Amino acid sequence: MNDAYSPVPELNSLKEFQDSLEGQFFAPGFELFKYDKGLDWFCGEAPDAYLDRLIPFAYATSSGSYYALWRCDDRTDLATLPVIFFGDEGDLCIEACNLCELFRLLAAEPDDPEDRARLASPRQRYHAWLQRNFGLTPPDGTGDVDGEVLAEYTRRFTVWVSEFASEDLLEDVLGALDLDVPTP
């Protein structure tokens, strides 16, 4: 029997690291939860065939926002799929082009001074884990994310949502992404 957290080796490695922290957080609000947990940001308006293309895997904030991998195509390496942020207050964005990019973003210095102090030791351990396992360092703020690639994923995500969304839902999604009506 396979006791792996997920079919994604990168997430399995992160799960092992998270478990080693014994309940401490390394990034504000981030916490892996049951892989492919049945969450529906689309409030029941998406057919299962569409929801099956989203793979929720972690809380992004302590208030219920979460991250999901988006099966934007049929690639087999799930770690290379874009990561979508679904906010608990309706926010929505393509957070990262792939898991390694998300892992780097999670290593960023927290804005809140209390979070910086509270998370200092686990963050140092996370930085070492990130370097050891993926050869990655925390972002330095200059060119850390490929904006053109994120913009293309955002466009494709909007086109995908437009295939099943009601006008109201599509309007909500477009508003959250700060976009106009998509063209295929």
- Distance (Å) of CA 160 to CA 61, 65, 102: 25, 21, 22
Q: How far apart are CA 161 and CA 69, in angstroms?
A: 15
Residue 99's pLDDT band, with cuts at 50, 70 and 90, is very high
% of the chain surpassing 70 pLDDT: 89
* Pairing label, strands 66-70, 31-32: unpaired
**For residue range 51-98, what is the model confidence (pLDDT) as tens digits?**
888 999 999 998 889 999 999 999 999 999 999 998 888 888 899 999
Q: How far apart are CA 58 and CA 68, in angstroms?
A: 7
**For residue range 27-53, what is the model confidence (pLDDT) as tens digits?**
999 999 988 777 666 566 667 778 888
Please state, rounded to an integer, the average pLDDT across all residues of the chain: 87
Q: Which residue has the higher pLDDT, 125 or 35?
A: 125
Count the neighbouring beta carbons within 10 Å of the beta carbon of residue 54. 19
> Are 130 and 103 in contact, with CB atoms under 8 Å apart?
yes
What are the boundaries of each domain within the chain? 9-177
In the chain, the amino acid numbered 53 is R
Highest mean pLDDT, choosing among 86-100, 122-136, 161-175:
122-136
Count the neighbouring beta carbons within 10 Å of the beta carbon of residue 182. 19
